[in-house]
Every structure is written in structure tokens, then in C-alpha cells.
Chains A and B, each alone.
Chain A
């Protein structure tokens, strides 16, 4: 909640103005029945004076105003009924203005806070390590960002508005009514506690019912989910009817739970209406008697009815307001849980103004590095890795699936931090660099090509966004990168060339095209270290060779780390590291490793077989 108050403070001027408008609105609203009373009393007086009542003289004395010559409203003298009517119109106009202001001021502040909250949450998400995204499903995060933020906004907007509104209405209403007739006030409001009673009595049933319906829905969702994911099993075992029956059971359970809940809801809604109707009944009966006895004026009666009507809506609002606040608080808690996640991989602490070290070459050293993913701390995926890679070298990592190649590469740009040991780049521990510096120094092409739903140009320029908009120079460098990645021709064949949109709103690229665009994205950034994590697997052998050749010619002293399954890619590397179960079990160049006859030689033999098969 503290965080919310912090946000609100930003907008306190508008928020307070909104609250003031709310007070004005409420005050004006609660003055209307009073004006009405004066008008009616005045009318009754006039009627009595003219003696024109159809009911005859005795009756008029009962309804005549008791105020005598005193002005009914302070400052209003010599008024006649049309004055009061005009006054009501004037109040209505001012009130409309104040009401509109109060509503959009407060609701807009709620939207502003929603905006801030969403922005901050996004910024926070950007700072969280990859580990967080492995633990959290996208669906869950999205639900927080969409539903929970929405609930918080409803709490800040409508709920706050009514939370302020209802007490003001009650304060005015009750005090004015009590000034007219305390006993009648008490009697007229007597049914109102019924609301509390009904709420209390049904509140629990309501909660339980809602919960049961939600559970039913959740149960049903998972059945559907399961059936859709396992539809091949459903179909091959001809289970359609069996599953439909199982679903129907849940469906029927949900229906019964919903009907039960409907019974509770059906009581709560009408109760609110009935309570205000009962108040009016009391006014008619008890108040009417008092008017008949001459202890109250007709105007008082009208005023009471007016006030009870005015209180009806704020009373009803009470009911759902609490639910809204509950939901908002729960939502805020779920958001807070995300905010509470530590950005455990961050810049090293530095004195203000102090600048971090720069990376000026691509030397890489791993010293006794071990690593286990945080969600499986007992299953290390890298053990005691020691390796020294001089700047400008090409190193290939080879090993079976799960041997730790990708994990090793992830330690370089600190997507994860090593559990023990040191990862050093250009002579320093990676943790000494600012993340920005470190990551700018490493161009990485991950295994899974991921492109954003925007233009190909923006995707290639992802690492240096300025180039995406920077006219000639940007154009030249983007084309150059595409050329090296052997994707330029493909792009030229698209109707809108580099402006072609990809993904959701655009075209679907083939796996190979995607990989080459992600390669171009990495090549554009002229960083001292280039990492290719099996990133040419969907590219045909011929193109791959072209790419590697181009890389070789233009590498300008870059250090290259390559994971590849095609050993043809690997053969020419300066150093080949063979990984198995998280350890480096062999190292050397191609000829040495083949001669040694271990895992590498075996992999090489299999590779040759596969190539032979492909050729058949």
C-alpha cells in the first residue's frame, strides 16, 4: 500500500482537487431536498393565505409551514416558489460541473497511477534475471500485469470515490434530517442496519459460493487444457465420449454451484432496494402522522423523502465497494510480490560519478567455474571449468545435448552468474563491469531465434536502435550485416524489403531466415566477442559455409565462441572444447581430437554417417 500512496503523492494536486469537487458535489446534492422543503413550505403557506385549497381551510393549517416570517433558507428573502425552482436549476448546473470534475479528476488519477505502476513494473521486469523467467510462466505474469493492475485501478477509482462519497452523504443527510426531526430520522434509518445484517449473514455464503464457482471454473479450464494438449491421446483411444462425460460432470457441478450462488446474490441485490423503500414507508406513515398532527410541515416530509432517496445509492455502493477494495488489495499484494523479486544480477555498486571499467578486447577466462540452475541447486550443469581463450581466437564447444554448452555461454553476458569460480573477460571478473558495458561487448545469437513483431530493419538494429532510423549510414550498416548473415537476398525478395513486418502482424519467416536475421542482429553490433549458440542449425550446409567464410574474413580480431552440431563448422576452430556432463573432457584442435579417439571422434564418425545418409 505504501507504494500506492507514493504514486498518489505525484498527483496529489489533482487528487485533492477531485476530492474537493466531491465534497462540493455532495454538499450541493444534499442541499436540494432542503430547497425543495422550502419551496413546498412556501407553497403551503401561500395556499393557506389564499385559502384556495380544495380540501378546505382546516386541512391547510396542517400542511402550512411553521416557519412564519423567517426566511426558510439563510439569505433568501421575499422568495416565491419559482425562486426555489430556479435555485434548484442553479444548484443542478453547478453540481453537474463539480460532479463531472470530481469524477474525471479522481478516475484520471487512478489511470495515471495505473500507468506509473505498469511502467515501473515493466522496468522492474527488465531488471530481473533470466532465472526469474524460468520460474514464472508468461501467463501468470500477464495475468498480474493485466488483471491485478486493473483491480488496483478499480480500487483507486470507483472504490475511493465511493469511500469518500458515502460518509459525506451520510453526514449531511443524517444531520439535516436530525435537525428537522430526530425521532423520525432514527425511525426512517432503522431499516438500514438490515443491510449490514444481510451482508453479514450472506457475506460468508457469498464468499464461499464465489470461491466454489471459481474453483469449478478452474477445474473446468484445466480439463479443457488437458484435453487440448492431449487431444492426440483422446483421439487415438476414441475417448471423446468419456471425456465429454467427465467434462459434463464438472459442468453440472459448476452449474449447481452457480445456482446456489445466485440464490445468495438474489437476496443481496433486492435487500438494498427494499431498505430504502422501507425508509420511505416509515416517512410516509410516521412522518405523515406527524404532518397530520401539525408537528411537521409538508416540506419536511418532502425533504425526508428526498434525503432517503439521496442515501439509497451511496448505501448500495457500500456493498460492492468493499469487495472492490478487497480485490484491489489482493491485486496489489500480487504485484508487490513481483516488485519484491531481487534483480540479483545487477551493476556493481559504484560511487556516484565513478565510471565502470571498459572492455577493450575479447579475452575470456574461466577459472574453476561451476554452475547449477537456481531451481535445481543440487544438479550442477557445469563443474570445474578452466579455460583460457585469447582475444581473437575461435573456439568451438562440442558435446551431446545437455552437456552444458548453452549454460556455459550464458555465464558470459551474466544471464546467470556462476555458482562458484570466476568468469573473466578482458582481464576482469564479469561482475565488475556494468551490465550495459558487458552485454555490449558480447554479441550473442541464441539457440532459439527470437524476433520481435516489428520491421526487419528494427529487428536487425535491435542492438543499436539509432541505426534503425539513421538514414544513410544506418542503411549501409544494416544492409552490410544482412549481407554477412546471408539473408540480404531473402529480404530483397520481400515486398517491402527491410520494412517488412514479421511476427504477429506480419509475415512468418522460415526457421533458417529467422536464424539469419538474428545473426545479422548480432553482427551489426561490432563487439569484441561473438557467440553463436547452435544458431545455424536450420540453415543449409552450403549457406552455413558462406556465412562462416564471411565471418572469417570480416571478424576484425573478434573472439568467436561457436556451438555447433555440424562438425564441419567446428573443424577449423583454433580450439575445440568437448563437454560431457558439465565437464571439459577433452580439448585441442580437430586433428588431435580425432586422433585421440574419444567422444569427439565418436561424434565425428556419427556426423559423417549422417552426412552420408543425407546424401543418399
Chain B
């Protein structure tokens, strides 16, 4: 109860973007785009519609300054008020059209984005569910949550404000240049002289800004990991009176982050101001050059106004370009991480197309044949384990902590692959099975139950089709939960909170048994809970257990005395090896490992009730 909490740490690491350092600097990658296109493809009709709308929006926007020119040159200067009104009407229509086009542009973009990204999310989740257990042991929860939520969101953002608008910006920019050249090519060239200078300046700042941004990312990552670590290790900091030093160190990280940001602010402010200045200077050029043209009678006032208007519109996308570029960059990084997850190899055997079925003659039999297993190279957790369980037999596995009991069960469900030797279920090597079929055959039940948020019904019935309410009730009664569920205000539909937090340990165990009963596997692997429950619940659990074991092969990691006493055979695992096999009476008689284990684990349990049966004395 009093250990510093470590959950949520991983989330924070993600918030921190600790991995941001590894970020690659690029906004374009053909392979990634191609893979993204795969998700857009189903909605390509919307996508093409969107591509059709973009030039329309652009054109309607660019039409307005031109209408201004016509209005001024043709009607204002001639005093033709009626003509002016008709131009105004066209202008109004252009504005309405632009509104509609912009609306469509945004909505269609989001339509494509949300739909294809929802598909991507679905695939990500489904793929994640098929990743091997070892993957989950290595990757913190927070990181996986980030992949499916935040990273996909970054892509959405890129769709919304990045990619599509950059395309439209390019259209607009080229449209403006074309129109200017068409209106008066000399004046256009004169006005656009600022552009090369501007591009040089932008390039100058962008290069520096990019380096600074990278520094900022590294430094914020450092701040965040420092913070995270300090929060987790706060008691150490306090115990060793290290507050002042930690504060100073934090201040250094914090300060260097601030300094880098100051620099970035200067670059950004300069860039922004230069673009604005260029816009004003181009206006001055229009006035200066344009006045000569007007006096020379080449153009009229309207063109001057139109030029000014076009130049204004010209600089806005240029100003926003670097921000959009940054969005694209982070989107590419996100896409890369997403596809990396999608490329992580799924569990072996999930894709198997030709599922082998059980050998009916040996249905329900389990055989371990000279099995060796190590999580880390050559550190054997199981050594040469051979064990044969007959159909319908109940075998109890006992052993001290770390003797390899749990590992044994993990090999059965093929959470891990054997190092050497073979495991056979119902007459077939587990590697021949389709993993899902295998797990229908072998049900692994942890009594210290992990329950899902949902209802009693959803936790027992597991959302499977064709399970009637009646079936559920039968199962629940068989698990001795009938009275309890009936007493709940909403009965079977009573909500269960995350991890079953609103239930007692005993209720969770009973629910886990009900779940196993409903699952009804041919072979049952049960890891008995060690948590203490009151005598009455213990009684109920034992009854339910008997019903659960009846008529099927069962391998039980036993913590209850009653279980070992009733088992057909007891297998004693010691330091990864099978050391003794026999019935309770035989092994007690023998007076070696089991006899000691029995005294250590079960004899105390008899005198003290169910409390602390494992005995935490062993270090």
C-alpha cells in the first residue's frame, strides 16, 4: 500500500516525448505516403472531390481582387453605378462560393482523414492484440496507448492543417503569379523582385531555426525525463537531503531549454517580420512602378488595387509555411512509429491458414517432452522437463517461488516458445496449432482475476455471440455467485469498474471461475490465487473449483491444501526440474522436497487459516 506508485510513469514518458530525440528530420517519405494512401484509398471518391474543390476555392478567392479591378476601372471611373452593382453582385456570389468551397474543403478533408485514420486505428488495435506476450513485457503501457491515440491524432492534424492546405497554398501562389503576369508582366516582375531576396532570408532563418528546434526537443525531453525520475525518486532526494542540488540541476536543464526557446523566438520573430516587411515593400513597388504605368496610361487604378490585394494574399501562405512544414515533419515521425508497430511481427501461429485439429484419440492429453526454456540466453528456467497428463486427470504442480511453475503454464498456451523439446496438446505439437484454436483448447485461468471494465455479464460471457442470459445465470450459479449477482441492484448488468476495483478479492476470484466455466476449455490450466479470503468465501471457491475441474484435464498450480490433497498426481518442480511425482500421501511418505514444501506452505495454512499461505519468509 505504501510503495511509491509507478503506474502512469510510462504515460508521462510519452507526454515527455523522451523519444523525440530520435526524431528524423523529414517531411516527406514516399514509402510512408504510399502506406498512408492505402488507408485513404477506400475513400478516394471523397479525396478526388476534395482535390476538385481545392482549385475552385482558390479560384474564387483569386477572383475577388480581379472583380475589384473591373469594378474600379470600368464602373467607378466612369461613374456607372448600375454596372458597379452588377459587379458587386458577382463579387457577393464569389464570396458565397468561396465560403461554400472552404466549408467543403475543410469538411471533406476531415471526412477523409477521420475515416481513414479510424481504419488505421482499428488495424493498429487489432494488430496490437496479436503481438506476442514478450512484446508487452518490453513496452510500457503508455507507449502503446500513445501509438493508437496521440500519434494517429498527429496524422489527423497534418491532414487538417498541413498537407491539404499546403497543396492549396501552392495552387494559390501559382495562381497569383500567373494573374499578376497577365495583368501587367513588367509590373509583376518588378513587384516579385522581393521574392528571391525573401526566399534567401527565409532559408537563412529556417536553417538556424531547424537546428534550434532540434535542440529544444532534446532539452524538453531531458527536462521531462529528469522530472519523471525526480518524482519517482522523490523519497530518495528527500532522504539524502539532495533537494538543493536536484533543484540546481533541474534549473540548469530548465534554463538551457528556455535559452534555446529565446533563440527560436528571435528567429521566428525575425522571419515573421521580414515576411511582413517584404509584403509592405512589394506594395511600395506597386505604388511606385504602378504610378508610372498609370501616368503612362498603360494601366488604370483598378489594376493597382488588384496588385496590392494579390500581393497581400501572396505573403500569407509564405508566412505560414514553416509552421505547416513542422506539422508535416511530426506527422511523418508519427507515421513512421505507427507503421513500425504494424510491422512488429505478430505472434507466431495467429496467421496459420491450415489449422490442425486435435487428435481425437488423444483429446485432452498434455505432454511435455524434454522441455528446456530460458527467458534470457542460457539461463535455464526449465530443465529437461518431461510430464504427461492423461485426459481428465488433475495434476497439481507445486514448488517454491521461482521454481518454474508459471513458466510451465505459459508454454502450454504458447505465450513463449520452448527452447528445446516439445509441448503437445491433444496429441499435436503446440507449434502446429493455430494459436487461437490452441487457446480454445487450453484455458489458462488466473484466479487473481483481471476483470475488464464492463458488466458482470460481459465479464462472464466475454462478449461472445450466442450466449443467452440463461446460460450466464447457470454459469454464475455454478460459480456460487448466484446470490451475490441477484443482490446487485442491476443484477447481471451491474457495472464493473476497471480491473474489478469495486469487487472484493473473493468476488473477483469467483467471477474468474465463472468466466472459465463459461469458456469451457477441454484442458484447464489454473493458477490458484494466493490472496486471503474469509472462510465462507473459501468454501464457495472450493466448491466452484470442484465443478470447474470436473470432466476435464486440469493442471493446477496449487496453493490450497485441499487442491493438492485431491489431485490425482502432484508434480514437484524444483529449480526448473521435475524432482518428485506422486500422490500426496506418497510424497509425504518420501519425506524430501514435497514434505518440506508441504510443511512450509500448507501446514501453517491449516493453523492460521488461509492467510499468507505462500509464506513470505523465502527471500
Contact = CB atoms under 8 A, between A and B. Distances in A.
Interface stretch (B27-35, B250-258, B359-367, B382-390): B250-258
A224 B148 contact: yes
A118 interface: yes
B41 to A, nearest CB: 17
Nearest to A345: B238
Interface string B231-244: 11111111111110
A217 B99 CA distance: 30
A15 to B, nearest CB: 14
A266 to B, nearest CB: 4
A47 B292 CA distance: 10
21 contacts: A40-B287, A43-B295, A62-B77, A63-B76, A118-B254, A126-B243, A137-B5, A138-B8, A142-B228, A146-B12, A224-B128, A231-B133, A232-B415, A233-B452, A236-B413, A255-B118, A277-B64, A280-B68, A284-B87, A288-B71, A415-B238
A111 B600 contact: no
The 5 closest A-B pairs by CB, nearest first: A139-B8, A142-B12, A92-B280, A262-B110, A85-B288
Interface stretch (B301-309, B478-486, B554-562): B301-309
Q: Which of B234, B237, B439, B444 has the most CB of A within 10 A?
A: B234
Given A237-B462, A262-B107, A281-B88, 8 more contacts: A58-B79, A82-B288, A122-B227, A259-B111, A274-B102, A284-B91, A306-B308, A610-B618
Interface in A98-114: 99-104, 107-108, 111-112, 114
Given A55-B300, A462-B240, A107 B265 contact: yes
Given A230-B452, A462-B242, A146 B15 contact: yes
B617 to A, nearest CB: 5
Contacts of A221: 145, 149
Q: Which of A96, A118, A274 has the most CB of B within 10 A?
A: A96
Contacts of B79: 58-59, 62, 292-293
Interface in B115-133: 115, 118, 121-122, 125-126, 128-130, 133
Interface in B439-498: 439-440, 443-446, 450, 452-453, 462-464, 498
B193 interface: no
Contact of B110 (A52, A107, A125, A259): A259
Contacts of B84: 284-285, 288-289, 292
A251 B276 CA distance: 43
A47 B10 CA distance: 73
A516 to B, nearest CB: 15
Contacts of B444: 232, 236
A575 interface: no
Interface in A492-544: 503-504, 521, 525, 537
B144 A92 contact: no
A389 interface: no
Nearest to A603: B617
Given A43-B294, A126-B246, A302-B308, A288 B453 contact: no
Given A36-B283, A139-B12, A266-B110, A439 B617 contact: no
A325 interface: no
A292 B450 CA distance: 81
B305 A302 contact: yes
Given A36-B283, A146-B15, A288-B76, A122 B2 contact: no
B141 A228 contact: yes
B185 interface: no
B129 A93 contact: no
Contact of B114 (A133, A228, A255): A255
Contacts of A123: 243, 247
Contacts of A133: 4-5, 231, 234-235
B240 A521 contact: yes
B136 A122 contact: no
A130 B234 contact: yes
B114 A259 contact: yes
Q: Which of A108, A143, A220, A269 has the most CB of B within 10 A?
A: A108
A50 B209 CA distance: 52
Contacts of A431: none
A292 B81 contact: yes
Interface string A562-576: 000110000000000
Contacts of A462: 236, 240, 242
A320 to B, nearest CB: 12
Interface in B262-298: 262, 265-266, 268-270, 272-274, 276-277, 280-281, 283-285, 287-288, 291, 294-295, 297
A293 B250 CA distance: 70
B95 A448 contact: no
A521 B236 CA distance: 11
Contacts of B452: 226, 230, 233
A612 B142 CA distance: 43
Contact of B574 (A63, A248, A616): A616
Interface string B1-39: 111111111111001101000000000000000000000
B597 interface: yes
Contacts, number: 473
A46 interface: yes
Q: Which of B235, B241, B281 has the most CB of A within 10 A?
A: B241
Contacts of A58: 79
A410 to B, nearest CB: 8
Contact of B231 (A92, A141, A267, A415): A141
B128 A227 contact: yes
A364 B463 CA distance: 59
Given A47-B295, A236-B444, A292-B79, A126 B593 contact: no
Interface stretch (A68-76, A182-190, A238-246): A238-246
A595 interface: no
Contacts of B223: 118
B6 A269 contact: no
A147 B15 contact: yes
B229 interface: yes
Q: Which of A139, A446, A465 has the most CB of B within 10 A?
A: A139
Interface in A575-616: 602-603, 606-607, 609-610, 612-613, 616
B3 to A, nearest CB: 7
Nearest to A258: B114
A450 interface: yes
A443 to B, nearest CB: 8
A300 B567 CA distance: 101
A406 B235 CA distance: 13
Nearest to A257: B114
B112 to A, nearest CB: 11
Given A59-B79, A96-B274, A237-B439, A111 B118 contact: no
A39 B129 contact: no
Nearest to B525: A236
Nearest to A539: B619
B612 interface: yes
A5 interface: no
A447 B235 CA distance: 12
Given A224-B148, A255-B115, A613 B593 contact: yes
Contact of A95 (B76, B251, B277, B285): B277
Q: Which of A130, A146, A410, A503 has the most CB of B within 10 A?
A: A146
A503 B232 CA distance: 13
A292 B612 CA distance: 98
B243 to A, nearest CB: 4
Q: Which of A46, A435, A453, A609 has the most CB of B within 10 A?
A: A609
A125 B519 CA distance: 49
Given A111-B258, A143-B12, A406-B2, A262 B251 contact: no
A100 B2 CA distance: 53
